Amino acid sequence: MNRFGVFALVAVLAALASPLFLSPLGLPEPRTARAPVGVETSRPVVVELFTSQGCHSCPPADALLGELKGRDDVLALSFHVDYWDYLGWRDPFASPAHTARQKSYAKRLPRRIAYTPQIVIDGRFDAVGSDRRRVTRAIDDAARLRMTIDMAFDADTGQLAMAAASDMRKRATVWLVAYDREQSTSIRRGENAGKRLTYHNVVRLYERIGRWDGDATSFAVDLDAAAGHDGLAVLVQENETGPVIGAFHMAL
């Protein structure tokens, strides 16, 4: 997109976020103090690792996610699940909500099971989280199938503006995620007892912002809820956990 196209997109989205939608013919000056900080034009592929500190085979997948988080074309997130806690070590980053998200994927994806380490790519594909070749290939496949909607986020107001999606086929869910860039834990019990393990882009907040039907609209993002963490992401998925159609992330 050329510089004029980017400017026009920012202006239109700023208008969408205001109470009154104005025609792009003769747009007024933006009402906010500055333009939205994030405008999605070519979004990253979303890579979700479902992992656990109680899983003996997970550390190689955790390390691979650490490599993937350095790619500009990937949004890598680590969702810790709680179903390994019974082995004697309670994962401090695990959440029943993360487990429910993984089980929702399991109902749609070909394997039909939830397992660790599992990587889900753009809500379309899954792979064993330590299988570098399969994960890389799935990222490339997802990039070719990638759907993108127009999104802009204003960090001053906490408003997320989303433009109309002409190819919208199903209602979508808008998710808010806050994550810590890196966490390390000394494991004292369970299958990884005695190890000090490092985790990357660890999800600490995961909640639904709202539903979206494809029309131009805006959502309020609770920035206070994400305070104290390193990054914020917004995911837009068909239905609940279907294919990703929109995503962006930013440092906090």
Nearest residue to 153 via CA among 246, 70, 239: 246
Angle in degrees, 0-180, between the axes of helices 132-145 and 59-68, rounded to the nearest 10: 40
Write down the pLDDT at residue 170: 78
Average predicted confidence (pLDDT) for the chain: 84
Q: Which tokens go with 71?
A: 């790619």
Q: Does residue 102 have a pLDDT over 80?
A: yes
Q: Which tokens go with 6?
A: 């980017």
Q: Considering just the CA atoms, what is the radius of gyration of the chain in Å?
A: 19
CATH architecture of 3-251: 3-Layer(aba) Sandwich (3.40)
Q: Does residue 53 have a pLDDT over 80?
A: yes
Contact predicate 99/82, CB 8 Å = yes
Question: CA 26, CA 182: separation in Å to the nearest integer?
Answer: 46
Q: What is the mean pLDDT of residues 100-114?
A: 93
Residue 200 pLDDT level (bands cut at 50, 70, 90): very high
**Residue 194 buriedness (CB in 10 A; 0-12 / 13-18 / 19+):** exposed
CA atoms within 13 A on the CB side of 225: 16
Write down the pLDDT at residue 13: 36
Question: CA 12, CA 23: separation in Å to the nearest integer?
Answer: 8
pLDDT in tens, 175-199: 999 999 999 999 999 999 999 999 9
Q: What are the backbone angles phi and psi of residue 237, rounded to the nearest 5°? A: -130, 145
Write down the pLDDT at residue 228: 94
Q: Which of 6-10, 82-86, 211-215 has the lowest mean pLDDT?
A: 6-10
Looking at residue 79, the DSSP 8-state letter turns out to be: E
Write down the pLDDT at residue 149: 86
Q: Where are the domains of the chain?
A: 3-251
Q: What is the DSSP string of 203-224?
A: EEEEEEEEEE-SSSEEEE--HH
Question: CA 110, CA 122: separation in Å to the nearest integer?
Answer: 14
Q: Does residue 55 have a pLDDT over 80?
A: yes
Q: Which tokens go with 251?
A: 């440092």
Write down the pLDDT at residue 148: 81
Q: What is the DSSP string of 97-164?
A: HHHHHHHHHHHHSTT-S--SSEEEETTTEEEETT-HHHHHHHHHHHHHH-----EEEETTTTEEEE--
Contact predicate 49/61, CB 8 Å = yes
Residue 167 pLDDT level (bands cut at 50, 70, 90): low
